[in-house]
Amino acid sequence: MLFIYVSAVSLIKTKKGILNIKVGEYTFYQKAGNYKKSKKRWCCTQNKYCKALLHTVDNKIVSFCNEHNHERK
């Protein structure tokens, strides 16, 4: 099993009241279509073609790909 240390993870609310996950300098939105399931997929908010994503199960991060293909905004 591989463990990755992430310095800061927080749940934030946007101006529209939508929950996002902030990991370090990047934020992730919950992918549409899985709001009622316990397993959720979260994608980078900065670029729709970004490969970075994370999965949560019961509000715990179970997998995380931090491979962004863009600069931070």
Instruction: List pLDDT tens digits, range 3-60.
Output: 556 668 899 999 999 999 999 889 999 988 766 678 899 999 998 899 999 999 988 8
Output the pLDDT for position 37: 77
Output the pLDDT for position 71: 81
Beta bridge partners of 63: 55
Output the pLDDT for position 27: 93
- Using the predicted structure, report yes or no on whether residue 2 has a pLDDT greater than 70: no
Output the pLDDT for position 1: 47
- The model's pTM is 0.81
Instruction: Identify residue 69 by its one-letter amino acid code.
Output: N
